Amino acid sequence: MSTGIRIVAGTFGGRRIEVPDRGTRPFAERVRQSLFAILEPRLTGARVLDLCAGSGAAGLEALSRGASYVQFVERSRDAATVIERNVATLNCGAVSSVRVGDAATAARVAFKEHGAPPFDIVIFDPPYDDAALRLSVLTSLAATGSPLAPRGLLAASWRRTRGGGAETPPIGLRLVRSLEFGETEIVLLEREGGDAASSGEGEEGE
C-alpha cells in the first residue's frame, strides 16, 4: 500500500493518505490543485458526492477545503477499505460516509435513500474505457430526481481524444468550463433549473 498522495490545501493540507495498490487512478496533485482552485468558492458548507472515489483523495480534498459532508462511492471493496482508513486517519467520519457500490446506481439514488438534501457538487472520475458508465451517470445527473441540486456542479474526467471536440452534455447539464491535463480532460457541468424550478420552490443563492 502506497502513501504517495497528499492533501493539497485546507484543514488537512500536507497530510498524506493511502492509495490502493491497483485498480484506481488518483488525480495527480497538480490536477487536484487546479480543479479545487475553481471549486473552492462553492465548497464552504457544500454536500459532495465522490463517484468512483478510488482512494477518496478528491472527496477528502473537498472536506479539507470546507465541504460539510462527502459521500464516497467506490465499487471495489478493497479500495473502499482504503477510503475508510483515510477517513479515520483524518478523523472525518462524522461528516462522511463510504458506500460500496456502482456509480450509476448511486447517481440515481444517492440521496433519496435517507431523505437528505441533494448534493451541491459531484466529482466523477470513471475508468477511461467505460463509456457506458459515463453516459449512464451523466444522464442520471441531468434527469428529474437527480441527486445533483439545481445549479449544482459536476466535475467529470475522461481521456481526451486526439482531434476530437468536447462531448455534448445531456440536456439538463450546461458546460461551464473544461480543463486539459495531458490525456485527461475535466469538464465542469452545471445542472440547469431542474426540480426546484419545476416545483415552484425558490433556489438559494450561491
* CATH number of the domain where residue 142 is located: 3.40.50.150
Determine, yes or no, domain membership for 206.
no
Tell me the C-alpha distance between 48 and 97, whole Å.
11
Classify residue 146 as exposed, middle or buried by CB count within 10 Å of its CB (0-12, 13-18, 19+).
buried
Determine, yes or no, domain membership for 205.
no
Find the range with the poorest average confidence among 118-127, 157-166, 176-185: 157-166
Determine, yes or no, domain membership for 44.
yes
Give residue 126's domain range.
2-195
Determine, yes or no, domain membership for 188.
yes
Determine, yes or no, domain membership for 12.
yes
pLDDT level of residue 137 (50, 70, 90 thresholds)? very high
The mean pLDDT value of the chain amounts to 84
pLDDT over 80 at 149, yes or no: yes
How many structural domains compose the chain?
1
Determine, yes or no, domain membership for 56.
yes
| Tens digits of residue pLDDT in 15-68 | 999 998 865 667 778 888 999 999 999 999 999 999 999 999 999 999 999 999
C-alpha cell at 136: 449512464
Determine, yes or no, domain membership for 200.
no
Pairing between β-strand 184-191 and β-strand 148-159 as defined by DSSP bridges: antiparallel
Determine, yes or no, domain membership for 179.
yes
